[in-house]
Amino acid sequence: MRSGELREPGMCRGWEARVPDTPATAPRRFLTLGLAAFAICFLAGCSGGISESVSTAAKDSSSAVATARLALKQDMDGKLTRAATATTLDDAQKEVETSRSTVQKLSPATPADRDTQRQALDVLDRCAAGFFTARAAVSADDGGAAPSTADGDRALAAAQDALEQLSHMVGSR
């Protein structure tokens, strides 16, 4: 049969299902296989569960708290301006808030996962309270009833200890 000729219906029956690899169909097959492989990897990565997400949040928050404590110590030693300290505290607090938001959005499936999520949120709330104390100390005019910079450092040290305990607890599961 030549190109341009009409075919009778059913004349090439059976050929429709056997499409050979051509330059036009090969990329679609690889794209389909690639998307399927990505979906499997994505779902397998999500199966790490609450513990993995909480562990990551605790590590990220611990790093942020350590950075904030370093800024406070440099501020106490007169090596960092109040503005730079305040900026560092803001950035670190945002990191902790992001971690808290991530943990809060988790969907625990088991009672143990719900307990882990609740404990993580409690610890991250203590971090937020520590940042509140540190921010109040940095923005105070060195007088009145405002907390001192050392009070802020102690509050963040307690938050860091709680984060380390959370990391150990989650790591043991």
What residues have CB less than 8 Å from 125, skipping those under 6 apart?
100
Among 156, 50, 58, residue whose Cα is nearest residue 107 = 50
Q: Where are the domains of the chain?
A: 49-171
Q: pTM to 2 decimals?
A: 0.69
**CB half-sphere exposure, 154, CA atoms < 13 A:** 6
Class of domain 49-171 (CATH, top level):
mainly alpha
pLDDT in tens, the chain (173 residues): 555 555 555 555 555 555 555 665 555 555 554 444 444 444 434 445 899 999 999 999 999 999 999 999 999 999 999 999 999 999 999 999 999 999 999 999 999 999 999 999 999 999 999 999 999 999 886 666 788 999 999 999 999 999 999 999 998 76
Contact 76, 45 (CB under 8 A): no
Contact 119, 130 (CB under 8 A): no
